[in-house]
Amino acid sequence: MGSVREGDFVTPGTRLELPDDATVGDGIERSGEVWVAVRAGLFSNGGTPDVSPSGSIPLPPQVGETFIGEVSRLHAKTAELQILCIEGREDGHRSMAAESMAADIFVSEIVDRFMPSPGDGMRTRDIVRARIIKTDPMLKATTKDDPSLGVLYALCTVCGLPLHVSSETPDENVACTRCDYKGYRALSNGFGHGHLLPDGVDLQPLNRGGERWTPEVEGRLGHDGARPYLSLMADYRRGTVHAMPKEARRSGGGGRGGGRGGGRDGQQRREMHKTKCTLCGDDCQVPFQPTPGKPVRCSPCMDKVKDGEADKEALAAERKILVGAREKAQETAGLKLFVGGMPREATTDELRALCEPHGEVRSCDIATDREGAPRGYAFVTYASREEGAAALKALNGSELHGRKLRFDESTSGGGGGRRDGRGGGRDRRGGRRDDRR
């Protein structure tokens, strides 16, 4: 190949005849003892040599831009969209870098109502208009708060025909004209009209924003995750009652509750517990038993804390609430005491009689081995933490059947395990507490 001249088109690896000490611009790098082009474009040798791209380079999506995307995957709490086109750009249809081709929509950003699973508002292969709300560290989008955003096109999960808007049944706003499929989608006003927004069309009432689900649909929401066999609204073909597939059981279920009794075939579903958000005070439900003194937040508050947007005053107020709840819980839980040096012949009634004069005893248990023989220690739980602390001081060193008892505050659940780092069943000298006496 001859020497490259001004204005020639070059490709990566093309050798360029430039001085060894040349100052170069973009698209040119040193490779060993020669200069080479590292991108395709037009070579320019005026002033600072560089390689200019032969066409425009698509910019990654920016916050506030809207795009048309296809739902490619549903996760437990997010829907993954493949970006097809960025609206309002001349090059919006061009290919983008791999990290800019997908965006996630969190379940709380799909529609303005409670929705446990993204599969309850959109399905794979649905075409959606969404808006970028975050670009770092990954693209995040929303379909809320704008009637133009939402599902534009959806197929029947039974027969594959395009779905049409339907208002016959509450909370089921799309239906198939061939079969009996009915479902719910977070509809855009452009649903059924491609990417266009027709005049005089308002489908937002069918989304029933801010309303509760009807009892019939509430029981079919994907509380256990986004997998088809866990969310009936996600895959209507299986009917209102169906057995979890064997491959789903083998794989652990894939979604929350899967493989642990989260199916719709009569197995137990995770219990939801009603509580209040410790940050904003709104009523919410969580799939676990709230622990007093630990934060329990609704989805919007969780997002605020995660994104660093939570109000400092609200966080300070939450800390006060948690400290108060923790102190109250400690008093309600009482105080559990470890009793060491228990004589073999002592009974539970005798130990209880020794402890009850100092406060209300909630439980009294003498530890035994597998054969039922006493292990030389016991646990006593007082209903009041204050009474338990006073009993600890009063009873430490007291005698039972001629042996001195040692009372300590228990730091574990008791039983045959370790108590406080010194090992359950042994005294400070390392021997058995009762075998040598």
pTM, full prediction: 0.46
Confidence grade of residue 378 (pLDDT, cut at 50, 70, 90): very high
CATH 2.40.50.140 domain locations along the chain = 62-244
Q: Looking at 101-115, 141-155, 215-229, which range is the least confident one? A: 215-229
Contacts of 138 (CB under 8 A, 6+ apart): 99, 103, 104
Pairing relationship of beta strands 78-86 and 102-106 according to DSSP bridges:
antiparallel
Confidence check: pLDDT of 289 > 70: yes
Give the count of beta carbons closer than 10 Å to the beta carbon of residue 349. Answer: 9
Q: Tens digits of per-residue pLDDT, 351-363?
A: 999 999 999 999 9
φ and ψ of 179, to 5 deg = -110, -170
Confidence grade of residue 76 (pLDDT, cut at 50, 70, 90): confident
Q: 234-254 b/e with 16+ CB inside 10 Å = b?
A: bbbebeeeeebeeebeeeebb
CATH 3.30.70.330 domain locations along the chain = 334-409
Residue from 238, 239, 115, 98 nearest 185 by CA: 115
Q: What's the rounded mean pLDDT across residues 244-248? A: 48
The top-level CATH class assigned to 334-409 is alpha beta
Q: What's the rounded mean pLDDT across residues 223-244? A: 48
Residue from 301, 339, 295 nearest 320 by CA: 295
Mean pLDDT of the chain: 79
Confidence check: pLDDT of 395 > 90: yes
Q: Tens digits of per-residue pLDDT, 33-48?
A: 889 988 888 888 877 8
CA distance 166 to 154: 13
CATH 2.40.50.100 domain locations along the chain = 9-53
The answer to whether 130 and 142 have CB atoms below 8 angstroms apart is: yes
Confidence grade of residue 221 (pLDDT, cut at 50, 70, 90): confident
Protein fold of 62-244: OB fold (Dihydrolipoamide Acetyltransferase, E2P) (2.40.50)
Q: Tens digits of per-residue pLDDT, 317-326?
A: 988 888 888 8
Confidence grade of residue 90 (pLDDT, cut at 50, 70, 90): low
- The dotted CATH code for 9-53 is 2.40.50.100
Tell me which residue has tokens 């379940």.
107
DSSP H helices in 269-344: 299-306, 312-333
